[in-house]
A and B are shown apart, each in its own frame.
Chain A
Amino acid sequence: MDKPTTKLKVFLVLLTLIVLAGSFSILMLFDQSLRLDESLSLYQVSRSPESILATVAGDMNVPLYHLILHYWQNIWGNGIFASRLLSLLFFLSSIPAMYVLGKLIHGRKAGLYAATIFTVSPAILWYSSEIKMYSLMVLITILNQYFFIRLYRSHLNKNIPTTGNYKTQKNKNIFSVWLFYLITALLGIFTHYFFVLIVLTQWLFALIKRKTFNPGFMYSIASTGLLLVVAYSPWMYTSFVKEGAYGAFFGTQNPTSETIFRTLTNFVFGFQSENISAFVIALWPLAALFIFVLLLNKNSNITHDTALLLYLLIVPLTIMIVVSILWIPLYADKYLILIAPSVYLLITWMFSVYPGFFAKLTQVLLIVAMGVASTNQAISSETPVKENYREASIHLEEYAKPQDIIAISSPITLYPVEYYYSGSAKLDTIPSWDGLDFEDIEEFSQDSLEQKVQDIESAGYSNIWILTSHNQEYEEELLAYFNNNYEKTYEHEFSPVVSLQKYRLRYDEPDHIALIEYLSSTDSEELTIKTESSGENTRAHTENPVKDFLNENVMNKIDLTNIRLIIVPTVNIEVAREILQDSHLSK
């Protein structure tokens, strides 16, 4: 049992970590632009709870986080800050949880070290400010591991070597420990599908080590499995059978040696620029030396706890790699964040095995390196996970004119752009999409691209702004088409995955515009007119588009006496004058 002074010291250290982490997140990360994933979350939780369930089910997600965020927004508003605050709270709660788990496995000091590297971890910090379920998933993973370890420790039938305060826990409140294990497992599988990997790994561990446990443990595991299946079945039925959500997870990929290395280095050094990442990854023989020294450094067996941590690192990673290669792409850094706590605990174990001075030196160096990496990740414009839709939208608002069109590619990134953009140019997507159902996104092909561009050109637009991000493997083809056929007049990368290009579609672009004002009692009517006036099919098939457009859309449908201002692109100021005179409107 710890002394009160020790408890106070631990409390103060944890409090310091929480304050530092909270401050860092709010000051350095909360001001980042909304990212695609976050905009999808905001879009999904803006509906009613019933609608959220349906949307999430069809979107290869599970609903716990979305429902929590929905009710959270009901209290604190649906702004980006408030929404990110929820993720931050989950992260800050994870810090003491990490300490408790680390203490259980390796003792108090190691628990504090585990909590410290968890706190300064760039990857964890990044997800602490993201409007997604990842920080919740990490919290639940830590708690679930804690109760799983306590559960099997209560059922050891041999004198298995362990560390930490093992003896004091034996045979105490086994049922409540199991109940908490079950609850955290349930919460986990309703937070993210991939939490199943944690549960499966724990079961694999139990199976392989079954001889060291009494039968009660296997019964506990079996009953947990049964209850999880029962609880999960209705959702799985809804999601896969009713909603037909068989699609691949968004942002996943087939793993390569590079992506696997990046995943592992990301846990320690976060998301860094290409140069820094390449440098860090190239140091892998040194990492191999550290682990080699670790493996061979101590004449002691690997404890059950450490073995479990190794399982939790290797098994989910292997499953994701194998499934991605053999079946469907599932591999994504963000999903693997659930193995991050195991990585930090293994690092902590590694240092506990090293000799004193070397351990202390490397411990301090690691904290410093991770802190520097976190800061660089937050401030560097080259951080690959940054998606600066905000700056891109501000730029478009300022420079895209009504006679221009903005094409978003991939189409799904329309969400974050729409969140920020309120300019006068029309927003469209390549390939075409109505912005509602992902299933309705048109498949990309060279033919569909040519058709789409032809339609845009026929509509009389002067320039096309192409905002590319989240490459769906056709970005290169798309840009090559424009580069080969049109003059590029602007190009800028707002963040590593968000780029903006401007191409000139026509050279007879108007010097002037005719101004017709619609006398409206409400803004919405005025906006309607404006939107229509930017022209769609009506102008595409006429020789004299402006005149026809006005005839068809304005004069025949709207009481001319109410027209005050309509912004119409024209090819010629004379035509505009003619229209105005014909229409008996004053300029």
Chain B
Amino acid sequence: MTETEGAKFNFLDIHVSKLLLAANVIAAIAYFILMAFIFPRGNPYIFGLLMIGSVFHLWQTITYCHTIWSIKYESRFDERFQPRVDVFITVAGEPLDIVRATVEAAKNMHYPNFRIFILNDGFVTKKDNWRDIEDLAKELEVGCITRTIPGGAKAGNINNALVNVAKPSPFVTIFDADHIPHRDFLQKTVGYFIDPDMAFVQSPQFYRNYRENRVTGTSWEQQGLFFGVICKGKNRTNSVFMCGTNMVLRRKALMQVGGLNEENITEDILTSLFIHEKGWKSTYVPEVLAEGLAPEDLLSYCKQQHRWARGGLELLFKYNPLTKKGLSWDQKMQYISSPSYFLFGIIVFLNASLPIIFLFTGEAPFEITTMQMGAVFIPYIFLTAYVLIISSNFTFTYRAAAFSLSSFMIYIKALFSVLLSLITNKKATFEVTSKKKVSGNFTTLALPHFLYIVLAICGFWVAILRDGLTPGVVTNVSWTLFNIGMFIPFIATAIPENAIEFLKLKLLRLKTKQ
């Protein structure tokens, strides 16, 4: 098996022991109880901040373990069920060669009965190449629907096609412009619609450029966890949601909820919520059937993360899943747990602030020794990390975790945008993730991290002058170093390559002189 073949397979080859999951939940509860009720409290405000984080971590651990408790569920499938399918390839200014590759691959799919349409949004999004896309469609002999009336971003584009395509097929497949389908894509997905209640089938979003650089690699590793064990787990509770591409939908189900939702920038998850609310089913095919492109630069990555975070948090605050009567409790929990991940930003910020607060003020959340804290924290965190590693089949890496932590400002920004939009009722704008590397200086993206380093250094001296090198000071300095250690991959990516090359050159000269 080659490395790429392994990458397409490993994230799905999951074997998680229920004993391990149970141990993780018990450890998380025990840790929380100790923190909340047993340990003698220090400063009540700092304790309160820590408890906010603790409640979040407990919630994340419980819902994660609940989601992946059983991943063996399989929906009914009949390969002989082969109705006509309309294949929609959404385009909004992506480079021609990328679109060509996707259309050609779609044309080569082994399926008896399907049509291909390029949904060309280049005109309404004022992209230069919208005419070239039309020409490409002609050249490759596929349909092309070019929107002239803007609105609804990608969802609007698809909804436009749903109503404008002649002789609509009962099933629709959606690919982003860069997602090249495998030949057997339709063969391995459409058969699930033998179940008349099946509304949509989702397959993984594999990034074929994952080896390109740190950003693409990290993006894939983060995706791998979601499209691996999490989606397999969601299958059990009938709460797999659409992920925008590499999916097949039953037109009837989609039309029943008024098409893809245009109010939210992550239209896929919100539409899934409405479909599930109507009692429809969904399923996840744990096999890579199409390959796309990950963002290749930090700016594109951050924009993508912001879009996902904003969409997810909007669902949470605007469309409270708990109030949806058509959903089961399992589904409600799933629809809360996935978007609530994006609250992670504020939690990281709070947790990272605690050692800084201690260094500057000497105030701590507890009056316990550093060793007591370590004795309960270390087993808990490593058990949690181990569950994460095992449940991702060793595909979730340090840099993926580091990028998640380092994205805290992006998530906080998204949270405030959502909260502001609740007041102003202003809609967010959809921005397509760039399919080509954007070059430039992204150091500003790491400004919060640099600020954290400066604060840590200042705090260190303040604490030393106040307390001396006490165990409390050493531990809190270590915590700041822990956080900085987790920020390093992000910072290293943000620093311009030529700056790194410059430093390398300097080092080389220094060595040569020696």
Contacts and interface: CB of A to CB of B under 8 A. Distances in A.
B478 A284 contact: yes
Interface residues of A, number: 25
B382 interface: yes
Contacts of A291: 382
Given A257-B371, A260-B375, A281-B371, A299 B394 contact: yes
A285 B482 contact: yes
Contacts of B370: 281-282, 284
A194 B369 CA distance: 31
A463 B512 CA distance: 73
A281 B370 CA distance: 8
Contact of B475 (A284, A296, A298): A284
Interface in A134-181: none
B394 A300 contact: yes
Given A257-B372, A295-B389, A300-B394, A279 B378 contact: no
A218 to B, nearest CB: 21
Contacts of B371: 257-258, 261, 281, 284
B396 A261 contact: no
A361 interface: no
Contact of B478 (A278, A286, A293): A286
B150 interface: no
Contacts of B482: 285-286, 288-289
A279 B482 CA distance: 16
Contacts of A297: 397-398
Given A260-B375, A282-B370, A296 B400 contact: yes
A281 B381 CA distance: 17
A258 B10 CA distance: 40
A278 B471 contact: yes
A222 B375 CA distance: 36
B257 interface: no
A306 to B, nearest CB: 12
B386 interface: yes
B385 interface: yes
Chain B contact-residue range equals 35 or more
A549 B474 CA distance: 64
B453 to A, nearest CB: 15
Interface in A224-262: 257-258, 260-261
Contacts of A279: 469, 471, 474
B349 interface: no
A1 interface: no
A284 B381 CA distance: 13
B214 to A, nearest CB: 12
A286 B374 contact: no
Nearest to B475: A282
A292 interface: yes
B394 A301 contact: yes
B374 A261 contact: yes
A296 B485 contact: no
B385 A295 contact: yes
A283 interface: yes
Contact of A293 (B381, B382, B396, B398): B398
A260 B373 CA distance: 13
A258 to B, nearest CB: 5
B475 A293 contact: no
Contacts of B372: 257-258
Interface in B374-420: 374-378, 381-382, 385-386, 388-389, 393-401
A299 B10 contact: yes
A202 B218 CA distance: 37
Interface in B429-481: 469, 471-472, 474-475, 478-479, 481
A302 B385 CA distance: 14
Contacts of B474: 279, 282-283
Contact of A299 (B369, B382, B397): B397
B396 A296 contact: yes
A299 B3 CA distance: 10
Contacts of A299: 7, 10, 394-395, 397
B486 interface: yes
A40 B400 CA distance: 55
A261 B481 contact: no
A40 B46 CA distance: 53
A258 B372 CA distance: 7
Q: Which of the listed residues B378, B388, B389 has the most CB atoms from chain A within 10 Å of its own CB?
A: B378
A438 to B, nearest CB: 33
Nearest to B469: A279
Contacts of B389: 295-296
Contacts of B472: 282
Nearest to A290: B485
B129 to A, nearest CB: 37
Given A278-B471, A289-B486, A301-B394, A296 B385 contact: yes
B3 to A, nearest CB: 9
A358 B48 CA distance: 38
Contact of B471 (A257, A282, A298, A301): A282
Interface in A280-334: 281-286, 288-289, 291-293, 295-302
Contact of B485 (A257, A282, A289, A298): A289
Contacts of B377: 288
A292 B396 CA distance: 12
Interface in B10-38: 10
A302 B15 CA distance: 14
A289 to B, nearest CB: 5
Contacts of A257: 369, 371-372, 374-376
A286 B486 CA distance: 11
Q: Which of the listed residues A257, A260, A301, A302 has the most CB atoms from chain B within 10 Å of its own CB?
A: A257
B470 to A, nearest CB: 8
Nearest to B6: A299
Contacts of A295: 382, 385-386, 389, 398
A311 to B, nearest CB: 13
A293 B482 CA distance: 10
Interface in A391-416: none
B4 to A, nearest CB: 12
A278 B378 CA distance: 17
Given A257-B371, A258-B369, A284-B370, A296 B398 contact: yes
A298 B397 contact: yes
A296 B224 CA distance: 14
Q: Which of the listed residues B375, B386, B469 has the most CB atoms from chain A within 10 Å of its own CB?
A: B375
Contact of A285 (B393, B394, B475): B475
A278 B471 CA distance: 6
Contacts of A301: 393-394
Nearest to B395: A299
A147 to B, nearest CB: 29
Contacts of B369: 257-258
Nearest to B17: A208
Q: Which of the listed residues A283, A295, A299 has the most CB atoms from chain B within 10 Å of its own CB?
A: A299
Contacts of B471: 278-279, 281-282
Interface pairs A-B: 10 shortest CB-CB: A257-B375, A282-B474, A296-B398, A282-B471, A285-B478, A282-B475, A284-B374, A289-B482, A286-B478, A285-B482
27 contacts: A257-B369, A257-B376, A258-B371, A279-B469, A279-B474, A281-B374, A282-B471, A282-B474, A282-B478, A284-B370, A285-B478, A285-B479, A285-B482, A293-B398, A295-B389, A296-B385, A296-B389, A296-B397, A296-B398, A296-B400, A296-B401, A298-B394, A299-B7, A299-B10, A299-B395, A301-B393, A302-B394
Given A284-B371, A285-B374, 11 more contacts: A261-B374, A278-B471, A281-B471, A284-B475, A289-B485, A291-B382, A292-B401, A293-B485, A296-B389, A297-B398, A299-B10
Interface of A: 257-258, 260-261, 278-279, 281-286, 288-289, 291-293, 295-302
